[in-house]
Structure 1
Amino acid sequence: MIENPGVLFTVLAFVGVIGPLVFVHEMGHYLAGRWFGVKAEAFSIGFGREVAGFTDRRGTRWKFGWLPLGGYVRFAGDMNSASQPSPEWLSLPAAERAQTFQAKPVWQRAIIVAAGPAINFLLAILILGGFAYAYGVSRTPPIVGIVAPNSAAAAAGLIPGDRVRSLGGRAIETFDDIAGFARLRPAERTEIVIDRNGASQTLFATIGEQRERDRFGNEYRIGRLGIGPAGTVRQPIGLIEAPLVGVQRTGEIVGMMVDTIGQIVSGRRSMDELGGPLRIAQVSGQQLSLGLPEFIGLIALISINLGFINLLPVPMLDGGHLLFYAIEAVRRRPVDPQVLEWAFRGGLAALLALMLLVTINDLGAFGLWRSLAGLIG
C-alpha cells in the first residue's frame, strides 16, 4: 500500500527543511562579513517581494521574500552579481567605502564567501555526530558470512570467511563500506581484493542490479553484491569521538555525490535521477512522516548538498566567486570586469537550464508526462 503525506504537510515539511538551511547558509556569510567589518544592507530568506521584515540598529533589513527557494545577504558595495566595483561605489565617502565588501582584501572576501558552505558542512557534522553519539556506530568487520545463491558475489567466487580488503581500488574498513560501494554501482564490473586463509586474492564481479520500491511508491535502482555479514557489531562512542565520526560521515556523503556526478557525466547513470525543489519537497514530507530522526537526517543530507553545490566553480555560485578570487590572488589584480560579466551571465544561463531540467524531471517523477501522454493518446 502506497502511503503519501498530504500536500499541506509536504509544504510545511519543505519549508521546515529549506528555511533553516538557507538561514544557516546566509548567516555564515553574514557573521564572516561582520567579523571583517562589512556592513550588511539586507538579509533575506526567500526571493521576490518582501512579505515581512524589520530593520535593526545597524541598518540591516531582515526580511522574508514570497518565494522560499533561497536567500541572500547583500553587503554594502556588493552592487552587482559579479561583486564588482561600480561608479556608485567609487563615489561613496571614504568612511562608508571602508565598510563595503569590495574594500576588503581578497582573502577576507574569500572567507566571507566560503563561510556559507562551511557552516552548512558544520551543521551536518553536528547532526551526524549527534546521531553517532546517540545510537553508536556500526563496526561490523567486512567478513563474508552469507553468499546469496545466483548473486554477483557467488558468480565472482566469494565464499563465507573471505575478508574484503578493497572494492574498485577503495579500501574497505567495515561491512557498511561494501554495501555503500555496491549500492551506487549497479551493473558495474569491479575488482574485489580479499583475504582468504591468510592469502590475498583478486576477484572480479559485475555488481547485481535491483529495483526497490518504498512505502511511498518511490522506485530506486541500486546495486547488490549478494553477501551478508556473519554478525553485526555496533559500538557506543563518546562526546570527543562523535564530531570526528560526523566529519567522516560528511566526507563519505560528499564522496558519494562526486561519484554520482561522475556517473551522470559518463552516462552510467541517467540524468532523470537529478531532482529539484519539487522532489525535495516530496521527500521532506515523506521523511517527516517517518519520524523526527529521519527528518533531521534529511536536513543533514540536504545541508551537505547545499554546501557542496555552492562550492562548485560555477559563476553565480559561491565556488565561482572563490575561483575568481583565487585568480585575482595569483595575478595580484582583479579579473577584467567584462570577463566577469560574461562569465556570470553564462553561469546564470547554466543554472536556469539546470533548474528547468530538474523541474522537468520532478514533474516526470510525479507522473505528469505519462498522464498527458494518456490524454493525448
Structure 2
Amino acid sequence: MLETPGIPFTILAFILVLGPLVFVHEYGHYIVGRWCGVKADAFSIGFGRKLVGWTDKRGTEWKIGWLPLGGYVQFAGDRDAVSQPDADWQSLPDAERSHSFPAQPVWKRALIVAAGPFTNFLFAILIFAAFNLAYGVPTTPPVIAGVQPQSAAAEAGLREGDRIAAIDGRAMETFDDIRIAVAFDLGRPIDLSVERGGEQRTISLRPRIVSETDRFGNTSERAIIGIMPGAPTLTPAGPIASVEAGARQTWDMVRLTGEVLGQFVTGQRSVKDMGGPLRIAKQSGEVATLGPVALISFIAFVSINLGFINLLPLPMLDGGHLLFYAYEAIRRRPAPPQAQEWAFRFGFAAIVTLMLVVTFNDLGSFGLWDGIARLIG
C-alpha cells in the first residue's frame, strides 16, 4: 500500500476511474441506439483532436480524443456531439434518413438518451452485487452499541441497546442508514423513533458538526450524534440477493446525492463544497493507494454521481434532452427551434460557469490560493 500518491500515479488512477465510466455511459447510448435501428457515426472517448481511431463495418468511427474528460456518441442526423439535429437531416436519402436519430419517434429518442445515465446506475449495481456475492452482504443492525460521553446522544438520553427505528419518519434498516441520515444533514435537529425494552419513544436532538482530517491531509465536516455500532456481519448471498442488495446500496447513494444537491440549490450548503474533475483525480489517486477494492468501490460511487448529474434537466445534458422530449410527447410537436437554441446557449453558459466554480474550488483544495496569499502577504 502506497503512503501518498505521486502525480503520475494520480493521473493513471484518474484514467482508470473515468475512462471505463465514460465508456459505459456512452456505450449505453450506443447499444440502445443500435437496438432502435439508429446508425452511430462516431463513438468517442475524450474530446478534441483524435489520438487513435478506427472505423467498423457498420461505418461507426471509434476514436480516443486527447482530452479525457468525457465522451460522446454522434448519431446519424446529429449536428454535433450534444445531439442537436443537423438542419439538413431531412434531405438525406430515404434509406439513410430512416436510420437517423431525429427521424425516430420521441419514445425511441428518449430511450436512447436515458440509456447513458441508467447504464451508469446499472454498472454501480453490478459492482456492489459482485462484492456482495464475493464477500457477503454487509449488515449492521441500527442498534446502539455505545454512547460517547457528552455527545448529543448522551445528552438526549440515548442508551446502549436502543434500536433506532426511524429518523424524521424515514425507516432505518442498518446502522449505515443512520450515518447517512445524520452526516450530511448540516446538523439540523432531528426526531428519532427509538425502540427500548419493547416500547417505542421519540427523542429529539441536534447533531454536532465535527471536522476530520484524513491521512492525506483532506479536511471535511460531517454531523454526528455520538453513537457507536456493533460488529458488522457479512451475510452470504446468492446472485439474486446480491443484485437486490446492490440495487438498494445504489439507491441509497442516489438519494443522498439528490439531498446534497438540493442543499446546494437552496443555499443551505456552500458552493465551496462542490468539486470537479481535478478533485476527482486527486481522490482517485488517494483511494487507489488503499487497494483495488477501495478503488473499485470509488468507481461505483463516481458512476452513480455521473449518472445522476447527467439526468439534471439542463440543456446539453441528457436530462435536458429528456425535458424537450417530454414537451414533445405532451404537445405532440417539438419545442420551437429558437427556444431550443436559446436553451442550449443557457445550458452551455450554466455548465461553463459551474466548471469554473468547481475548478476554482479544486485548485483551492490543492492549497494553491493559500500559497498565493502567503506569497503576496
Shorter-normalised TM range: over 0.9
1:320 to 2:336 alignment: no
Work out the CA distance in 1 between the residues paired with 2:220 and 2:114.
34
Aligned residue in 2 for 1:238: 238
Work out the CA distance in 2 between the residues paired with 1:176 and 1:52.
45
Work out the CA distance in 2 between the residues paired with 1:289 and 1:197.
45
> Residues 174-231 of structure 1: CA distance to partner in whole angstroms, max 9, x if unpaired?
2221122222134221111112222221111110221111111111111111112354
The more displaced of 258-267 and 25-34 is 258-267
Check conservation: 1:193, 1:200, Cα contact below 8 A: yes
Aligned residue in 2 for 1:63: 63
Structure 1 212/82 Cα, relative in aligned 2: closer, same or farther at 3 Å? closer
Check conservation: 1:143, 1:162, Cα contact below 8 A: yes
Work out the CA distance in 2 between the residues paired with 1:64 and 1:8.
20
Aligned residue in 2 for 1:176: 176
Check conservation: 1:82, 1:344, Cα contact below 8 A: no
Work out the CA distance in 2 between the residues paired with 1:324 and 1:32.
19
Distance apart, 1:325 and its partner CA = 0.4
1:214 to 2:214 alignment: yes
Check conservation: 2:3, 2:289, Cα contact below 8 A: no
Check conservation: 1:250, 1:304, Cα contact below 8 A: yes
> Residues 102-138 of structure 1: CA distance to partner in whole angstroms, max 9, x if unpaired?
1110001111111111111111000011111222223
Work out the CA distance in 1 between the residues paired with 2:264 and 2:89.
43
Q: Following superposition of structure 1 onto structure 2, how do residues 69-80 of structure 1 map, counting pairs within 5 Å?
A: 69-80=69-80
The more displaced of 238-247 and 80-89 is 80-89
Check conservation: 2:79, 2:87, Cα contact below 8 A: no
Distance apart, 1:356 and its partner CA = 0.4
Structure 1 139/87 Cα, relative in aligned 2: closer, same or farther at 3 Å? closer
Work out the CA distance in 2 between the residues paired with 1:342 and 1:29.
25
SS across alignment from 1:90: helix
Aligned residue in 2 for 1:163: 163
C-alpha RMSD over aligned residues:
1.5
Aligned residue in 1 for 2:15: 15
Aligned residue in 2 for 1:330: 330
Q: How many residues align?
A: 376
Aligned residue in 2 for 1:120: 120
The more displaced of 264-273 and 31-40 is 264-273
1:92 to 2:69 alignment: no
Q: Following superposition of structure 1 onto structure 2, how do residues 252-267 of structure 1 map, counting pairs within 5 Å?
A: 252-267=252-267
Work out the CA distance in 2 between the residues paired with 1:180 and 1:94.
54
Work out the CA distance in 2 between the residues paired with 1:93 and 1:180.
55
Work out the CA distance in 1 between the residues paired with 2:256 and 2:319.
19
Work out the CA distance in 2 between the residues paired with 1:18 and 1:339.
33
Work out the CA distance in 2 between the residues paired with 1:84 and 1:8.
37
1:290 to 2:304 alignment: no
Check conservation: 2:78, 2:86, Cα contact below 8 A: no
Aligned residue in 2 for 1:41: 41
> Residues 130-181 of structure 1: CA distance to partner in whole angstroms, max 9, x if unpaired?
1112222233322222111100101111122222111122111122211222
AA partner of residue 41 (structure 1): D
Work out the CA distance in 2 between the residues paired with 1:230 and 1:356.
44
Aligned residue in 2 for 1:249: 249
Check conservation: 1:186, 1:221, Cα contact below 8 A: no
Work out the CA distance in 1 between the residues paired with 2:49 and 2:84.
25
Distance apart, 1:81 and its partner CA = 6.5
5+ residue gaps, structure 2: none
AA partner of residue 113 (structure 2): V
SS across alignment from 2:248: helix
Check conservation: 1:152, 1:208, Cα contact below 8 A: yes
Work out the CA distance in 2 between the residues paired with 1:19 and 1:85.
27
Structure 1 68/154 Cα, relative in aligned 2: closer, same or farther at 3 Å? same
Check conservation: 1:82, 1:340, Cα contact below 8 A: no
Work out the CA distance in 2 between the residues paired with 1:376 and 1:260.
35
Structure 1 82/285 Cα, relative in aligned 2: closer, same or farther at 3 Å? closer
Distance apart, 1:296 and its partner CA = 0.5
Work out the CA distance in 2 between the residues paired with 1:360 and 1:4.
23
Distance apart, 1:86 and its partner CA = 4.1
The TM-score normalised by the length of structure 2 is: 0.96
Check conservation: 1:138, 1:176, Cα contact below 8 A: no
Check conservation: 1:287, 1:298, Cα contact below 8 A: yes
SS across alignment from 2:158: coil
Structure 1 232/116 Cα, relative in aligned 2: closer, same or farther at 3 Å? closer
Check conservation: 1:84, 1:337, Cα contact below 8 A: no
Check conservation: 1:82, 1:341, Cα contact below 8 A: no
Work out the CA distance in 2 between the residues paired with 1:375 and 1:134.
52
Work out the CA distance in 2 between the residues paired with 1:270 and 1:133.
39
Check conservation: 2:123, 2:303, Cα contact below 8 A: yes
SS across alignment from 1:191: strand
The TM-score normalised by the length of structure 1 is: 0.96
SS across alignment from 1:240: helix
The more displaced of 188-197 and 355-364 is 188-197
Check conservation: 1:38, 1:76, Cα contact below 8 A: yes
